[in-house]
Amino acid sequence: MIEVKNLTKSFADKTVIQDINGVFEQGKTSLIIGASGSGKSVMLKNIVGLFTPDSGEVLYNGRNFIGADRDTKTDIRREIGMLFQGGALFDSKNVEQNVKFPLDVLTDMPEDEKLDRVNFILKRVKLENTNKKMPSEISGGMQKRVGIARAIVNNSKYLFCDEPNSGLDPQTSIKIDQLLQEITDEYKITTIIVTHDMNSVMEIGEYILFISNSKKLWEGTNDDIIHSGVQELDDFVFANKMMRKIKSLG
Amino acid sequence: MRKLGEYVLFLGALFKNPESFRTYAKLILDECILIGINSIVLVSIVSVFMGAVSTLQTAYNLVNPLIPDNVIGLVVRDLTILELAPTITGIIFAGKVGSSIAGNLGTMRITEQIDALEVMGINSVSYLVLPKIVATLFMYPFLVILAGTLAISGGFLAAKFGGVLAPADYFIGLKLEFNTFSVYFALIKSVVFAFLVSSISAYMGFFTKGGALEVGQSSTRAVTVSCIAILLSDFILAQLLLV
């Protein structure tokens, strides 16, 4: 479980996230949603430690990440897997080397065990027989799946995804969403996904935290979201014609 | 001053939370190939022509009948060892390797590959930059020795085929009043230049912000600053060690 308490972050004189609280439970896909520039990616980067918040706490199963010493931070970080918006695969390494990378650097596992683990994970994300392909030789959706494989190969307890569906067609997006939900449930991972994709919200949003103008305006599930009563959230959710039609149907 | 402070902190981060020796050994070997072996052709071509042209131009300028021809060999030798091999090769090296280091790290930064390392708990400065600096420190002195040898050989070829002096005179000149400290001086310079090029280029690339345009700007800036640093340190080292 990840608990965020009173998280605040500013850049120069602009407050990007202000006093945000939230509890992201183990085995659930939690979504941070909001319009572009609302501060959701900054919030994610504060949670994983890529930014240091001005104030507040981030607790990983009770361990405060922000004020922790270097060893504790390293321990927590080694339990984290992250899928970046563009995949962030290492260009100079092939699929197998990319997925094996956390095992190479973070473990003393024998080489054959590492390869077994890599093949198992690649099979899990439905990427068999792509081991020797370079990132530039595979599609965007496949790159995302390699990114997911790399994020979970080391038995990560926490999985973070920054806009996992950006640049993907709707069908591939749904497949990625389903894969993330399956993995979360199967390995009992605490998963946090930053997105503004309403398909993802409706498909896998077991816990949703809505940010607007740097502040948390709403939290709940995908069942509750269309009846939130929050104007900013309604503007966000019912931005397109189809969603408005669904709302009018009740 | 702020940039200088950042640069010093960046160098300090090289040694924080390091990975295992085995990890570095493999990375250093890879970088030695990328940085050193892949530069051999360019350095060789430039060095041969540098030595040949130095011989022709020295011969062109030394027209006084009272100065023996073998002085041309001496001038080319000292010019090569003291300046051409370490410094001019350094500037070429900054153009080739410095821009490559900055471009590589800049691309990794804007495509979030560096963030991916940080999230895994890996010290990205130590993991990505330290092997590049160590490999450069290993390989650049070898490139300077190669450049010096080939430049002097180029001078010989110019003497033989250009007809400006007898090859025997060139050899006599090469051995005339040879001071071994010149070689040590060249090697000291090569280590300093290697450190400057690799660390400055890595710093420029590592802190790239923006997109593809900024990666290009970082590479250009890395070459410019590296060249200035080489020339400045060249003067300081000459002042300290030769005067």
Is B112 within 8 Å of A84 when comparing Cβ atoms?
Answer: yes
CB B119 within 8 A of CB A82: yes
Tokens of B213: 């345009």
CB B78 within 8 A of CB B178: no
> What is the per-residue pLDDT across B71-117, written as a single tens digit (0 to 9) for each?
999 999 999 999 999 999 999 999 999 999 999 999 999 999 999 99
The ipTM value here is: 0.87
Judge whether A58 is closer than 8 Å to chain B, CB to CB: no
Label residue A14 left, alpha or beta by phi (over 0 means left) and psi (-120 to 50 means alpha). Answer: beta
pLDDT of residue B93: 93
d(CA B134, CA B101): 13
DSSP chain A: -EEEEEEEEEETTEEEEEEEEEEE-TTSEEEEE-STTSSHHHHHHHHHTSS--SEEEEEETTEESTT--HHHHHHHHTTEEEE-TT----TTS-HHHHHHHHHHHH----HHHHHHHHHHHHHHTT-TT-TT--GGGS-HHHHHHHHHHHHHTT--SEEEEESTTTT--HHHHHHHHHHHHHHHHHHT-EEEEEE--HHHHHHH-SEEEEEETTEEEEEE-TTTGGG---HHHHHHHT-SHHHHHHHHT-
**Mean pLDDT along residues B198-207:** 96
pLDDT of residue A250: 63
Contact pairs from chain A to chain B, CB under 8 Å = 53
d(CA A87, CA A168): 12
Q: Give domain status of residue B28, yes or no.
A: yes
Is A48 within 8 Å of B23 when comparing Cβ atoms?
Answer: no
How many angstroms away from the CA of A77 is the closest CA of chain B?
5
Of B113, B122, B127, the CB nearest to A88: B113
Judge whether B122 is closer than 8 Å to chain A, CB to CB: yes
Is B23 within 8 Å of A84 when comparing Cβ atoms?
Answer: no
Helices (H), B13-69: 21-31, 40-61
Judge whether A146 is closer than 8 Å to chain B, CB to CB: no
Is B119 within 8 Å of A80 when comparing Cβ atoms?
Answer: yes
Judge whether A93 is closer than 8 Å to chain B, CB to CB: no
Q: Give domain status of residue B10, yes or no.
A: no
How many angstroms away from the CA of B116 is the closest CA of chain A?
7
> What is the per-residue pLDDT across B133-161, written as a single tens digit (0 to 9) for each?
999 999 999 999 999 999 999 999 999 99
Nearest CA in chain B to A89: B113
Domain ranges of chain A: 2-79+157-248, 92-155
Of A74, A84, A91, the CB nearest to B121: A74
Query: What CATH number is given for A2-79+157-248 in this structure?
Result: 3.40.50.300
> What is the per-residue pLDDT across B114-140, written as a single tens digit (0 to 9) for each?
999 999 888 899 999 999 999 999 999
Domain count within chain B: 1
Which residues in chain A are closer than 8 Å to B127, comparing Cβ atoms?
Answer: 105
Q: Give domain status of residue B8, yes or no.
A: no
Q: Report which residue type is found at B191.
A: V
Q: Give domain status of residue B31, yes or no.
A: yes
pLDDT of residue B111: 93
pLDDT of residue B62: 85
The residue among B3, B204, B173, B2 whose CA lies nearest residue B103 is B204
Count of beta carbons in the 10 Å neighbourhood of residue B159: 27
Please give the torsion angle defined by the CA atoms of residues A219, A225, A231 and A234, in that order, rounded to the nearest 10 degrees: 140
d(CA B232, CA B234): 5
How many angstroms away from the CA of A202 is the closest CA of chain B?
28
Is B119 within 8 Å of A70 when comparing Cβ atoms?
Answer: no
Judge whether B15 is closer than 8 Å to chain A, CB to CB: no
Is A86 within 8 Å of B116 when comparing Cβ atoms?
Answer: no
Judge whether A13 is closer than 8 Å to chain B, CB to CB: no
Nearest CA in chain A to B110: A88
Judge whether A158 is closer than 8 Å to chain B, CB to CB: no
Which residues in chain A are closer than 8 Å to B33, comparing Cβ atoms?
Answer: none
For A172, residues 6+ apart whose C-beta sits below 8 A from its C-beta are: A140, A141, A165
d(CA B45, CA B147): 9
pLDDT of residue A71: 84
How many angstroms away from the CA of B21 is the closest CA of chain A?
11
What is the value of pTM for the model shown? 0.87
Judge whether A102 is closer than 8 Å to chain B, CB to CB: yes
Domain that includes residue B65, residue range: 19-241
Helices (H) and strands (E) in chain B, counts: 12, 0
Q: Give domain status of residue B75, yes or no.
A: yes
Is B113 within 8 Å of A104 when comparing Cβ atoms?
Answer: no
Q: Give domain status of residue B186, yes or no.
A: yes
| DSSP state letter for B207 | T
Segments of chain A with pLDDT less than 50: none
Of A48, A90, A105, the CB nearest to B19: A105
Q: Give domain status of residue B233, yes or no.
A: yes
> What is the per-residue pLDDT across B10-44, written as a single tens digit (0 to 9) for each?
898 888 878 888 888 999 999 999 999 999 999 99
